Amino acid sequence: MREILFRGKKVHSDKWLYGVPVKGTEKDVNEMIMIASVFDQEGYCCRGCNLDPVIPETIGQFTGLTDKNGKKIFEGDILEITERGVTARGGVVRFEYGYAGGWVVCDPQKETSHCTLSLRKDVEVIGNIHDNPELIEVKA
């Protein structure tokens, strides 16, 4: 079974938090919090959990795949792909719905161009869209 895991950037910090995002608390219904372990949660009461607020736009799901160095690949990661001796940088991981839906790598230069991530052998995570947007800037 695939590991279900999310990450999100902590509010007012550069720290990434991992766990399960939950929306809506008594204080602020627009707040997103990250729960480190759902097994410690009982309804809305989470014993021994850190309920840290995260920036909703930064939340991305783990794809279930790792790069060539064993690093987990998340939605929003930027990849470097080597194929037949040619290296391409800047592909962004995202989920696409539809007939052949799944995790894909999108070329920021061509919105419609993508490949299925699970078919890639030689990929490396070089950043993500929130910390390293300069890696995907479209060149005019």
Which tops the pLDDT comparison, 99 or 60? 60
Please say whether the beta carbons of 33 and 52 come within 8 A: yes
HSE-CB of 105 using CA atoms within 13 angstroms: 26
| Alpha-helix runs per DSSP H in the chain | none
- Lowest mean pLDDT: which of 35-39, 86-90, 95-99? 35-39
Amino acid at 102: G
Please name which of 97, 83, 24 lies closest in space to residue 56, comparing C-alpha atoms.
Answer: 24
Q: What is the pTM of this model?
A: 0.79
pLDDT digits (tens, 9 = 90+) for 27-43: 655 677 777 655 545 55
State what percent of residues in the chain have pLDDT above 90.
26
SS3 for 58?
A: helix
Asked whether 31 and 21 are in contact (CB, 8 A), the reply is no
More confident site: 95 or 69 = 69
pLDDT of residue 106 exceeding 60: yes
The mean pLDDT of 12-19, rounded to a whole number, is 90
Kindly tell me if the per-residue pLDDT of 140 is higher than 50. Answer: no
Q: Answer for the pair 35, 20: CB distance below 8 angstroms, yes or no.
A: yes
Mind listing the pLDDT tens digit for each residue in 46-57?
555 567 888 999
User: Letter for the amino acid at 98?
Assistant: G
Q: Spell out the residues 6+ positions from residue 83 whose beta carbon is closer than 8 angstroms to its own.
A: 120, 122
Angle at 90 between CA 76 and CA 128, to 5 degrees: 30
Q: If residue 132 lies in a helix (H) or strand (E), which one and from where to where? A: none
